[in-house]
Structure 1
């Protein structure tokens, strides 16, 4: 039985295409302390490629998340992955003055990628003129999902619950938030509340369409709540969102951060295949590439005899 059939019976994704990948593309970043390094991956052929800007989780880098990036690019997307300052590849010391601001610098990294698309295109051989600037999505996992959510309209709330600065970007028209942290305050452990004050998101202004992906066995060490904490971005944001709950999945969602990575506690290729295909279908519809892709994916999952997850929308 093929992986496609196991993951979402009846959902056709087409034949994968050859992919090109270039790293590092170095974007000038005055005031950041060092320039921004990114990885650019895209199909070797084709034009008007929709773009995904991907924000990695804590400690990861532009080289992570190959199971998702490989699938997305082989099926028609260009993916740009910046390396944030918290990456283990940079070894930023805890007492670095930038440490407390990394959450904000992460958002600026994504914005810098958007501002530098001309530079990125020119630096990747064969990519110039092939990106569709009208179809750009943002995606991220864990801390990267919180980073991505800021470009969709989420805010960091102040001490009295007041919304912080609006960092949303009109160039982003859809998002995918994988294991995105939930609300702060009393929902955090004392350690998280003391050390991560930026973990206090408000989703009331997150108006851009998005797919939230959560594992129903994802128990965070930073929250006193259960796995439902990772659904707050769906429950508390305005309408126009979808939620994919992946059955049995923990924080790595079956292993999306890399092939055979040691931090995966719930390795399951079928869960990864499910997320590959459903995020691909969602973005194709949300970005206006194929209006039938997401409805077909939802129908295929609902018709599965033993589904790996469920989808709801509001």
Structure 2
């Protein structure tokens, strides 16, 4: 596919990589309900304009025989999930290089480098958002990953700074120097976590900085900028595009319980439809991860699906206690029988 990013119609949307969330089952449900596959004989298959990301995968584990077996579960994808991007994290440029070569062999459309996760365990070893404070190492990692990836595009997902929003210009300039295909910018610092509203003015500033730094390049040579932070819907994403000039929008938590999130033609979905898709999601999870992941992983999804309709609060409470698929199906059947 080459650099698929440049083939996307702007503005495009992305599903944020989220640990224990963006697994195969969740991505598959998103692809089914946000995608519109063309069955026309005169046209190539197509779908709505969005990109899916895997959960983040550690480069050390991916290059270890035992770790690789486990992580290949997280890297499972289907053809309807394309374009699909694998996200990597770690601290060793050589391992990023080798991991990128491995990811390319798996057939992924792109590779993303996690330089934004603010969680303590990753920060403690100097990875993810900690790389904002290690610009030289960050630069080495991006360059090494690009070399390993060959002709598939490399993106970087990061934050506007480590401690202060004012760090944005220096940090973003450092990343842009390495010429990634895409810069995905979360509008908060590492220190802010998700405690304050995203600074979309800083994201807009990054777009202006990109145009200044790479202004003499043709359109296809510029790094694309994707904004991220507090976007809950497709419509809200379009508003952010107008405000900031970003090329695309990444949605994370806003996709919970809303597999239609990237489909601009969808309308509100009632309880019956939401619960039908929830059970489809749960069955797919069980079929995919039987003996590999605990069913409790689905509870965060149940909480999101079971909202916005009469009786949702009581239903959620019951779903949070469900220990397996059979019990979940029984709870939903009883709810629908009593309420619809």
Q: TM-score range by the shorter chain?
A: 0.3 to 0.5
Could you tell me the TM-score, scaled by structure 1's length?
0.36
Which has more helix, going by share of residues? 2
Which of structures 1 and 2 has the bigger CA Rg? 2
| Structure with the higher fraction of residues in strand conformation | 1
TM-score by length of 2: 0.33
